[in-house]
Structure 1
Amino acid sequence: MVGIILASHGDFANGILQSSSMIFGEQENVKAVTLMPSEGPDDIKAKIEQAIASFENVEEILFLVDLWGGTPFNQTNSLFEEHKDKWAIVTGMNLPMVIEAFGARFSMESAHEIAASILNSSREGIKVKPENLEVVEEKASTNTNQISNVGSPGSFEYVLARIDSRLLHGQVATAWTKTVQPTRIIVVSDAVTKDELRRKLIQQAAPPGIKAHVVPIDQMIKLSKDNEHFGGQRAMLLFENPQDLLRAIEGGVPLKTINVGSMAHSAGKVQPNKVLAFSQDDIDTFNKLKEAGLEFDVRKVPNDAKANMDEILKKAQEELNKLK
């Protein structure tokens, strides 16, 4: 996996690492390096060298730096010259850039490839209000709970439906969108529709060029029955839990396969594998989904091998029975 070093004046690198970890999850092979007011060029160069030495693989390293021409950049660049065939530096570090880089590591194996892929999301993360202050008119990014009825005759083509307690995060925004190429990402959740903070986090994680929405379940059911306005639209649906999915299926959303990506652990749940945790209600709901004819595609990212959902549910039931 490509190592990432965040470098900045002051504590900015530490702060952005903390923020990105809150959104994307804790990361391996990532270090924050800071230049403090009492320090000089040699100090931060030593910190960068120490961070590099902490990585198991020092062949592929991506440096995300706050300012071109500043001391963190200059000292990074002095080390970079001998490794420029493998290493890469991107300046203007911001939160969308870091999140995109985290996600890209799951499908890209070189620092050069990741550096090239994160530029658009870094730029798209810069917005201004009021909008008339924009020098260049941007395409609107629709991250609301309203999906306008514009388009060709026809209904949605569902390219992916996924259960993921983290909803739209780096693995989804990079690996899965590149694989299934949606034109819209739709988070289907009554709870998230009412949560302004979570909606904003989803907006930040949306990849450039793809319209993202958060809609309540009943609205998704209505949209799925609209055969007049969504022709040519490739929809990726994200569900926070199997219960919301079951409501959508029972309401008539025509899904045949569900990708089961992650379900967070909480009190009263058992965890039969690393990424899926179940309560009795979860198991019962998955059995109802199976009875409804759904097939399960259990994997975090497209390159993972598919796991057997029947075996996972059986193991989860056995573990729950032991707790009774």
Structure 2
Amino acid sequence: MKTIILLSHGEFAPGLKSALEMFAGDQAKDVLAFGLRKGESADQFGQRFAQGMAEVDQSTGLVLLADIIGGSPLTTACNILAQAGRMEDTIVLGGMNFPMALNAVLYQDSLDGPQFVEKVLGEASAALQQFNFQTDTDDEEDDI
């Protein structure tokens, strides 16, 4: 079993958790979300993160999904987890988007290691594409 943890600047992570609950229902109930609040220091964020992690079962693997690799939320979380000896059983992925988070939740119990990472990152990447919107008038012109 894995615990999914969303990390971001601002309210992105909490908002993403809310969207996950709409799509994944009970599978997303144990997802944790931490956003670095405006005006909050990295140390303050770290204290909130450490308090939240105190409730997580030590025997579960962790998956950190972060908005930006190298950003304060992710580096702070990794430092805290390293001090607690938890990085060995932790997967860290950056560039978080909704498909990435949804697939992490859906596959958290069925895929492990490289297969989990490949599936989650593959779905995240596949979702990045341009949407070409066509109106009804565009279709009518094509029929002429």
Listed as ranges, the matches of 1:32-181 within 5 Å are 32-81=33-82, 82-108=85-111, 110=112, 114-130=116-132
Equivalent residue number for residue 13 of structure 2:
13
Partner of 2:19: helix, strand, or coil? helix
* Length, aligned pairs only: 130
Once residues 72 and 58 of structure 1 are traced to their aligned partners in structure 2, the CA distance between those partners, rounded to angstroms, is 23
Residue identity over aligned pairs, in percent, reads 25
Answer with 1 or 2: which has the greater Rg: 1
Give 1:13's aligned amino acid: A
Segments of 5+ residues of structure 2 without an aligned counterpart are: 134-144
In the alignment, the residues of structure 2 paired with residue 50 and residue 72 of structure 1 have an alpha-carbon distance, to the nearest angstrom, of: 15
Q: Secondary structure of the residue that 2:65 maps to in structure 1?
A: strand
* AA at the equivalent of 2:124: S
Secondary structure of the equivalent of 1:85?
A: helix
In the alignment, which residue of structure 2 is the partner of 1:23?
A: 23
Q: Take 1:73 and 1:100, find their aligned partners in 2: how far apart are those partners?
A: 20
Q: Is the contact between residue 60 and residue 87 of structure 1 (CA under 8 Å) also seen in structure 2?
A: yes
Contact 1:2–1:29 (CA<8 Å) still a contact in 2? Answer: no
In 1, are the aligned partners of 2:5 and 2:33 still within 8 Å (CA)? yes
Q: Is the 8 A contact 2:17 2:33 kept in 1?
A: yes
Distance 1:116 1:49, change over 3 A: farther
Match of 2:138 in 1: none
1:270-308 CA-to-partner distances (Å, cap 9, x unmatched) read xxxxxxxxxxxxxxxxxxxxxxxxxxxxxxxxxxxxxxx
Superposed structure 1 runs of 4+ greater than 2 Å apart? 26-29, 56-59, 79-85, 110-117
RMSD: 2.1
- Cα distance per residue 1:14-37 (max 9 Å; x no partner): 111111111111324311111111
TM-score, scaled to structure 1: 0.37
- Please identify which structure carries the higher helix content: 2
Answer yes or no: is the 8 Å Cα contact 1:87–1:111 preserved in 2.
Answer: no
CA distance in 1, matches of 2:81, 2:113: 12
What residue ranges of structure 1 are gaps of 5+ in the alignment?
Answer: 132-324
Determine which structure has greater relative contact order: mean sequence separation of CA pairs < 8 Å that are 6+ residues apart, divided by chain length.
Answer: 2
How far apart are 1:74 and its partner, in Å?
1.3
Partner of 1:2: 2
Q: How does 1:264-279 map to 2 (within 5 A)?
A: none
Q: How far apart, CA to CA, are the structure 2 residues paired with 1:111 and 1:47? A: 28
TM-score, with normalisation over the residues of structure 2?
0.79
